Amino acid sequence: MHPTPSLTRIPTPSFWAILAWILLFAAPGGLRGQAAPTSGDLLGTVHSAETDEPLAGSSVTVVGSGRGAITHGDGSFYVHGLAFGEHTVRVERLGYRTEDRTIDFGPGTPPLRFELVESAVEVEGLVVTGTLTERGADEAIRPVGVVAGEDLQRRLEETVAGTLAGEPGVSSTSMGPATARPVIRGLSGDRVLMLEDGQRVGDVSSSSSDHATALDPASARRIEVVRGPGALLYGSNALGGVVNVIRDEVPRSPVDGLHGTATLQSRTVNDSWGGSVSGSFPLGEHVPLRFELNGRTSGDVATPVGPLENTGIERFGFGAGTSWVDDEWGSVGIASRFHRNHYGIPGGFVGAHPDGVRVEMERSSTKGQLVLDGVGPFETFEADGTYTWYRHSEIEPPDILGTFFKRQVGSMDVLARHGAWGPFTSGAVGTRVSAERHDFGGSLRNPDSGLYTAAAFVYEEMDLDPVVLEAGFRYDWTRTDPLQEDPDSDIGVIRDRTFHAASGSLGALLRATDWVTVGASVARAFRTPSLNELYSEGPHLAAYSFEVGNPDLDTEVGTGVDAFVRVGSDDLQAEVTGFYNRISGYIYPEETGDTSLTRLPVFQYRGDDAVLTGLEAQARWAATGELVLEGSTSFVRGTRQATDEPLPLIPPLQGRIAAEYARPDWFVRAESQLAAQQDRLGLFETETDGYAVHSLTLGLRLTVAGRLNVLTVKGENLTDEIYRNHLSRVKEILPESGRGLSITYRVVF
């Protein structure tokens, strides 16, 4: 047996913060002074082109600089410490067309004046996930989606997966509303990386459908989705894609006053009340402080045929972060966050407790971040150290501990970006190391284990106008180390395993015309079997299953190809994508048809070669100046190659159509979510009927006391449709939620 390094030897969050300050203040003056750019303060105002009224609550972003601001009541904004040189300034405001302006910023640059034109069409936002620098979604080489601003408020639900409903290629799996988790192109679990400001969340949501994600979407600034494999900056496990919840927990830009948002929401379908407040204010000229507080409480979900009992939620979280931001060398900061979520898992089906199970989970994390500008040949050097502690208890009535998980993760990520360098326009090199300790208790027989990873990658881009090329390479090493090896286990020889593999991607983007872009990419990615897939041996009560692992499983290796066409103009935005994803050794829990002694259905983890192919399309067209028509659709087909049988838990053909009439101060939107029948089934799956669910949303935008206020009222499932989500584990008990009303109020200050 190999000795297992103790997780207590992982440096604590305070270590990373102290190290960052030492690197900063002990570094030779030459390191900080070599690339000390001349900088200044960018000033300006934002107005309506039609009325000349100042537009409070407008978002001003200096693209790729980490700098930005929100306009005050008089429309003014102030961006401190911006390096002299050429910049693109983007201004966004609800009800108005986004404007990008390239400026040559230097001493004596006069204040800017932006005059925004009224428009019902929202331009896709900026993207940072899976890209080297912040850029527009229409410039990304892979299919991406951005949910931000009013779109985020209109779609806001209890979970990230629920909020992303309607995104092409995205569906959700769940065992009740609290546990919804995104499924991208038919792939879920840890094949979809869940990130928070680019860092892994560190919960156990990927290991089972009854585990909630430790994320609250209410305080997110935006949520980004990258569909398909190849996000090499974050990890090779991303066979399906990446979901990144962006909050900017460690502030990297000074602020000139108190700025932020406050949100309050209520939903009648589950008697839900929730809210959040987040913002930033200056402790000094170079010291911004970010704060956040959020919470939600809800009861049982009401369906058209009765309540889905034991589905209530009690959730609470808070966080704070601060940094020192210097105009010359960069920034150094630290942030901490706490998240608690108590929720119910319904009962009433085979293997379930009659009254369901209560889950109590807690997560705390601390991160330190150091960003240096102009280090040797690199434009920026960024180091992020994170420590996450997570605990999860599943409790049977009246108060019996059924299952227990604890996870501790310490990680360090280093990323160095460069500009023009030889034949490359831009690029980056990076490394990641992490050490984890997983403890299990209750009825679980999984051995307590360590998990250790190390990776290095390089990513380069070439802009050969009108063609942009990218190439990336990543090498990962992973070791799973059970604390107690067992050569005589019923499931096989439980021992430590070591996995390593290379990943890579190639992509190209062609700007065919001013309004047409085509692109394609090919990527190879791999995924290490999880501890649960390798070593599980016993009942998992909240999941109502008896899980049998396989310690001989090998890695999954996926090869994915994407090709797309984008159309973008002032009145029309559209994208069509086709994809092919072949996965060798695809691991999944196959229901055997047997039940354990405690009447739990037995699931055996196995690996087969699989192919997933599909199509995604979306379009937004301004039929008139105020009327916008939208539509999207996605389809995926999953097949086991050896037998030509369907893969289990594949979503059906689904889509969305909408019509919106919008003025700068108000809007009305009618929308329908559609799904076809799913009769292409894996073993022991049941057929799901198609459905159409309709909603109507009314919105009001007002500037009160120099603050933008947005009120959204949404009627959900207006016809009280009885429908079932094919990926829901509880669809056999009751359908999805019935008719309800959602009211969301947000103020931008």
pLDDT value for 588: 83
Which pLDDT band holds residue 344 (cuts at 50, 70, 90)? very high
One domain, residues 59 and 178: no
Task: Give the C-alpha distances (Å, rounded to integers) separating 308 from 352, 358, 542, 734.
Answer: 14, 14, 16, 7
pLDDT value for 366: 97
What mean pLDDT comes out for the span 516-539? 90
One domain, residues 181 and 210: yes
Highest mean pLDDT among 227-231, 277-281, 589-593: 277-281
Q: Is the pLDDT reported for residue 18 higher than 60?
A: no
One domain, residues 75 and 178: no
Higher pLDDT, 438 or 624: 438
Domain end marker among 118, 143, 174:
118
Low-confidence winner among 196-210, 289-303, 347-361 (lowest mean pLDDT) = 347-361
Q: Is the pLDDT reported for residue 686 higher than 80?
A: yes
DSSP state of 424: B
Which pLDDT band holds residue 352 (cuts at 50, 70, 90)? low
- Global pTM? 0.89
One domain, residues 151 and 87: no
Highest mean pLDDT among 206-215, 442-451, 501-510: 501-510
Asked whether residue 29 is assigned to any structural domain, the reply reads no
Asked whether residue 24 is assigned to any structural domain, the reply reads no
Per the CB < 8 A criterion, the answer to whether 476 and 500 are in contact is yes
Q: Is the pLDDT reported for residue 277 higher than 90?
A: yes
The Cα–Cα gap between 633 and 279 comes to: 36
Asked whether residue 26 is assigned to any structural domain, the reply reads no
Domain end marker among 89, 118, 147:
118
Q: Is the pLDDT reported for residue 718 higher than 80?
A: yes
One domain, residues 49 and 14: no
Asked whether residue 2 is assigned to any structural domain, the reply reads no
Asked whether residue 208 is assigned to any structural domain, the reply reads yes
pLDDT value for 598: 67
Asked whether residue 736 is assigned to any structural domain, the reply reads yes
pLDDT value for 543: 64
Strand stretches in 569-690, DSSP E: 572-595, 601-622, 627-640, 645-646, 654-663, 666-675
pLDDT value for 80: 87
pLDDT in tens, 531-575: 989 998 877 665 667 888 899 999 999 999 999 999 988 889 999
β partners of residue 412: 385, 433
The Cα–Cα gap between 552 and 492 comes to: 8
pLDDT value for 517: 96
pLDDT in tens, 74-106: 999 999 888 899 999 999 998 888 899 999 999
CATH number, residue 196: 2.40.170.20
Give residue 21's identity as a one-letter amino acid code.
W
The structure tokens 């990130």 sit at 195
Asked whether residue 113 is assigned to any structural domain, the reply reads yes
597: enclosing H helix or E strand: none
One domain, residues 374 and 520: yes
The structure tokens 């931001």 sit at 325
pLDDT value for 371: 95
Q: Is the pLDDT reported for residue 21 higher than 80?
A: no
Give residue 378's identity as a one-letter amino acid code.
F
What mean pLDDT comes out for the span 264-271? 96
pLDDT in tens, 186-240: 998 889 999 999 999 999 998 887 889 999 998 898 999 998 876 678 877 788 8
Question: Which domain, by its residues, includes 577?
Answer: 7-19+127-748
One domain, residues 437 and 567: yes
One domain, residues 397 and 509: yes
Which pLDDT band holds residue 683 (cuts at 50, 70, 90)? confident
What mean pLDDT comes out for the span 247-274? 93
Asked whether residue 25 is assigned to any structural domain, the reply reads no
One domain, residues 14 and 154: yes
One domain, residues 417 and 548: yes
Domain end marker among 91, 118, 145:
118
CATH number, residue 72: 2.60.40.1120
One domain, residues 84 and 151: no
Q: Is the pLDDT reported for residue 123 higher than 80?
A: no
Higher pLDDT, 489 or 13: 489
Number of domains into which the chain is organized: 2
How high is the mean pLDDT of the chain? 89
Low-confidence winner among 116-130, 178-192, 413-427, 602-616 (lowest mean pLDDT) = 116-130
Percent of the chain with pLDDT over 90: 65
Which pLDDT band holds residue 26 (cuts at 50, 70, 90)? very low
One domain, residues 92 and 195: no
DSSP symbols for 709-739: EEEEEEEESTT------TTBTTTTT--S--S
Give residue 234's identity as a one-letter amino acid code.
Y
